Amino acid sequence: GAVVSQHPSRVICKSGTSVKIECRSLDFQATTMFWYRQFPKQSLMLMATSNEGSKATYEQGVEKDKFLINHASLTLSTLTVTSAHPEDSSFYICSASPEVAEAFFGQGTRLTVV
Amino acid sequence: GESVGLHLPTLSVQEGDNSIINCAYSNSASDYFIWYKQESGKGPQFIIDIRSNMDKRQGQRVTVLLNKTVKHLSLQIAATQPGDSAVYFCAEKVGTYKYIFGTGTRLKVLA
């Protein structure tokens, strides 16, 4: 199957700093990628749709100025959590599809804000 | 996000028994569904998929059933093994490349 790689897998940052998470499609091009957030013992919640070469589309209730998304190439999308606070601590996961069907997921990034 | 943030229900199954995990989806127009397995600290992994023109699809030890009348999916795992312990999510395709996830079920396999 297609491979989606996410980096870093774990990050700890101080409150008020920004953190960048990368999502790469390794063996296919993805014009669209998705970013999800998952709290412990909960399901994945779609945060935003990352569109190559254009602005991201955010789900209702997700602050676009806090969660900056850049999709500068067909194989890379980045999510930057700006001015992170402890309540931003979560598991962030990206996904991409090589075709209009199955979605492949990255390994996820565990963000801890202290 | 569109999925509901509820705490995960747990299904405990004896090793060797069959498991049945259920999922309700929301959009009657959804035409494609996937079951994912998520192990602790990892991203979801594809298990099996089904299109809306099918009622049943079988894989290796897994079967997915789709009931469009009541908007219900189930995942059946035959001869459950300890390695099957994980959280299982159904996902419905709601747009091009876009999926919405169900609440998930934690499967615990008892030795």
Instruction: From first to last of the 114 residues of chain A, give the pLDDT tens digit.
Output: 679 999 999 999 999 999 999 999 998 999 899 999 999 888 999 999 998 888 999 999 999 999 999 998 999 999 999 999 999 999 999 999 877 668 899 999 999 999
Closest CB from B1, B34, B103 relative to A47: B1
Q: What is the mean pLDDT of residues B22-51?
A: 93
> Residue B37: how many CB atoms within 10 A of its CB?
21
CB B43 to CB A101 under 8 A?
A: no
pLDDT at A65: 95
- Distance, in angstroms, between B67 CA and closest chain A CA? 20
pLDDT at B7: 65
> Residue B93: how many CB atoms within 10 A of its CB?
25
Query: In the structure encoding, which two tokens stand for residue A15, read together?
Result: 């409150």
pLDDT at A100: 64
Q: Which of B47, B97, B98 to mutate to test the interface with A (most CBs of A within 10 A)?
A: B97
Query: In the structure encoding, which two tokens stand for residue A31, read together?
Result: 């014009």
Contacts of B42 in chain A (CB under 8 A): 107-108
Residue B1 has pLDDT above 90, yes or no: no
Cis peptide before B82 (omega within 30 of 0): no
Dihedral over Cα of B72, B89, B11, A87: its sign = negative
Q: Which of A28-62 are b and which e, b meaning 16 or more Cβ less than 10 Å from the residue's Cβ?
A: eebebbbbbbbeeebbbbbbbbbebeeebebbeeb
Q: From CA B45, how far away is CA A106, in angstroms rounded?
A: 9
Three-class secondary structure of residue A102 per DSSP: coil
Residue B4 has pLDDT above 90, yes or no: no
Q: What is the mean pLDDT of residues B20-29?
A: 92
User: Could you tell me where the DSSP H helices lie in B4-99?
Assistant: none
pLDDT at A102: 80
- Distance, in angstroms, between A19 CA and closest chain B CA? 19
Q: From CA A15, how far away is CA A13, in angstroms rounded?
A: 7
